[in-house]
Amino acid sequence: MPTAQIVKWGNSLAVRIPKPVAEEAGVREGDPIVIEAAAGEISVRRKQRIPTLKELVAQITPENRYDETPIGAERGKESVEW
């Protein structure tokens, strides 16, 4: 089990994550994390990332796409000419 040491970094404390541990956890520089402390323990976990709109749209396929939903006649400013 790799170990690390707490060091002073400005007014804060820091811990270096050994490369093998970072690789196993799948984290890279700049990844957001959550740090929690309770009862003399500190836990560090990757923050769940919210996908971008571009990433979500890239997942759309003909198989997971809904058909157009008929909603009736146009009644206001929703009419758009293409």
pLDDT in tens, 23-56: 999 899 999 999 999 999 999 998 988 889 999 9
Q: Residue 25's closest CA among 13, 34, 14? A: 34
Pairing of the two strands 33-38 and 41-46: antiparallel
User: What architecture is the 6-64 domain classified under in CATH?
Assistant: Ribbon (2.10)
Mean pLDDT, the chain, whole residue set = 89
Q: What is the average per-residue pLDDT within 1-6? A: 88
Q: Can you tell me the distance from the alpha carbon of 42 to that of 53, in angstroms, rounded to the nearest whole number?
A: 33
pLDDT(21) > 70: yes
Q: What is the pLDDT of residue 82?
A: 67
Cβ(6)–Cβ(15) below 8 Å: yes
Please state the domain extents for the chain.
6-64
For 58-78, write each residue's pLDDT tens digit.
999 999 998 888 887 777 776
**Positions of E strands within the chain:** 6-9, 12-15, 33-38, 41-46
